[in-house]
Structure 1
Amino acid sequence: MSSSQTEFCHICGTILPLPLSIDIKDQMTCLVCNHTVDVNQFNGITSTTRITFNTRHLIHKSSHTSQDKAEGPVIERKCQKCGHEKQTFATLQTRSADEGQTVFYTCLKCGAQENENS
């Protein structure tokens, strides 16, 4: 049986988690339909996880300053470094869910970055 077929329950199609090496059980039970699967079907199968973080490129570096070059919304906010009146921003939830988001500002003229917890 190929690994792509082994990874799914044959009854309901739910993804089956690979058994841990510390598991001593002979059978695995689907968490949705309770169908049992012989744990030996997983011999030799490995699992790899990859997390890819997107980079934040808020402005394109060029000799021309233009709102068309900005990635993201542009607001009127004075840059603390050069005094330019336009910045782009992005928001992320960097703290716990019950707290406000963090706003990252980037000046469209000089590229200076600031952040603010809201």
Structure 2
Amino acid sequence: MTSGRDCMFCPTTGALLKVDDLTGEATCPLSGWSRSLEDMNGYKVVSRTNMEEYRRRYDLEPLVKEVKREDAMLEQQGRARATVQETCPQCGAKEMSFYTRQLRSADEGQTIFIECMACTYKRQENS
């Protein structure tokens, strides 16, 4: 007797059977072997997976990676910044630094992060 999972595959090639409701058969696209859909009645197939399993199986990188706090701090320190002659609204310093990141979709402008070098006041603008 075959298990519920085995009934979905060709016993010759191991390929997934293609179900055709019009003919009432499940056919292997490689070998042509077929089985009546009536033979498959009563089978219940349950499959469970999670994202970690899926990524591992297909060797995928996550879209958003977790960053350790230490790594994030090192990244911020190494970020290239430019300066602009703008008065800080909090402490009155005459110069502020800024950097940009593409946070929204590619057809929209970048986000500009502006920070006071004296008091670390921060703000962001969308360009």
TM-score, length-normalised on structure 2?
0.41
Q: Would you tell me which structure has more helix in proportion to its own residues?
A: 2
Largest Rg, 1 or 2: 2
Q: Normalising by the residue count of structure 1, what TM-score does the alignment of the two structures yield?
A: 0.44
